[in-house]
Amino acid sequence: MNRLDIPLLVQKQREFFLSGETKAYSFRRSQLEQLLHLLLENEEEILHALHADLGKSPFEAYATEYGFTMSELRFTLKHLKKWMKPTHVRSPLVLFGSRSRIEHHPYGVALIIAPWNYPLQLALAPLIGAIAAGNCAIIKPSELAPHTSQLLGELINQHFPAEYLHVVEGEVEVAQALLRESFDYLFFTGSIPVGKIVMEAAAHHLTPVTLELGGKSPCIVCQDADLQKAARRIVWGKFLNAGQTCVAPDYLLVDTRIKEALIAEIGKVLREFYGEEPLKSEDYPKIIHDRHFQRLLSFCEDGRIRYGGTWDPAGLKLAPTIMDEVGWEAPIMQEEIFGPILPVLTYDQLDEVIGKLQRLDKPLALYLFTNDQAVERKMLQNIPSGGVAINDTVMHLSSPYLPFGGVGSSGLGDYHGYYSFLTFSQRRSVLKQTNRFDLSLKYPPYSTQKYAWLRRLFK
């Protein structure tokens, strides 16, 4: 769509929303079912597009994108009617005679800006929440995943009216044109620098936003950790999608006494998962584009490579790489890696870890491997993060029962399951007072006796 058509598109969606059609349960359910049907009918094409964009194997594409989205859809369909019901709450004594409830109302027209690393899941998961809450939506997928972007455009734009849902493809200037419009809600997933631009644009219209960003998520491995299980779970979480995951473990903080044992276990797991020549593994994805590939290669100079470090420029593949002797001031430790390089740093006392991490930006995820509940409590109490997984990585975001989101520089707001519905809903307070009587306490003139009663009511 030409960017000159964007204001007209937003206007038509606003008019359709004001018709009230999107608010009925029957309408919301039918649209979710239509989306489910489209995904079922186009599974093969979706998996092919994900492979073309990121080299994802059918298994990984299904597990992290297609299957995840289908699960989110089915979960929403199962619970939507319950979510839409008003929540009745108590009224305090000062409001004697009244009844109180909380209703969930759609915002109106939502803009969803999706990234390239999980181009299906991160476009459709928020869209499911927007539909469930009764909104219209415009989706801007990433031009850096062109096959998935084009397929999303075809599926949505051919099967939903533009005044309700529409995919707008294009590069930066299209996103800029969209951000100049006044939306009722804005949902962005991407990098911290772009997130700041999005939030600034939203501020011009006082548009509420959800920002799903990232950051350097630490993975702490304590002396008592089960090293075999830790190695498998760390390697899987780090090198999933070739490390291009917002919640991937960004770096390891390992008790000095077990560093060599853990690195050895990680080496075994790497060979088990990807073979002796990981660049030839069909289960190992590629880097999204050459600029990002070159950026990652430059990080390989920031320490001693223990495993990996080989690359295929033609295929945009960088082998899973473990790096030792990395300093906190190295370039690789100054920004989110977002790729298949795992620096290993050490500590002697956990208080060192707490002191260091408290001075850094709050990460999107915190990973802790320990069997000591006292250590677990201490770390949770002292290290802030968007989410936490203990003795695992990444998997916390797969639960529709848990909110997923960041804190501070790693994001604003959360979603998944019920929390997606809440994100795209305004919670409106409703107080209904009785007409059977009218207490005169609040009305002038105010006497000493009324004042005494007032003080009792507020105790």
The one catalytic residue in 136, 219, 222, 246 is 246
Q: Structure tokens of 105?
A: 């109302």
> What is the chain's length?
459
Which of these, 192, 38, 213, 181, lies nearest to 120 by C-alpha position?
38
Pair type for strands 99-106 and 87-89: antiparallel
Q: Structure tokens of 261?
A: 């044992």
Cβ neighbours of 209 (radius 10 Å): 18
**306 Cβ contact partners less than 8 Å away, ≥ 6 residues apart:** 263, 267, 322, 323, 324, 344
The one catalytic residue in 60, 72, 163, 212 is 212
Q: How distant is the alpha carbon of residue 267 from its chain centre?
A: 30
Pair type for strands 209-212 and 218-221: unpaired
Question: What secondary structure letter does DSSP report for 178?
Answer: H
Give whole-number Cα distances, 211 to 112, 246, 339, 418, in Å. 10, 12, 21, 18
Contact 367, 220 (CB under 8 A): yes
Contact 240, 217 (CB under 8 A): no
212 is catalytic: yes
Instruction: Kindly tell me the burial class for residue 450, based on how many C-beta atoms sit within 10 Å of its own C-beta (0-12, 13-18, 19 or more).
Output: middle
Residue 88 bridge partners (DSSP): 101
154 is catalytic: no
Residues forming the active site: 212, 246
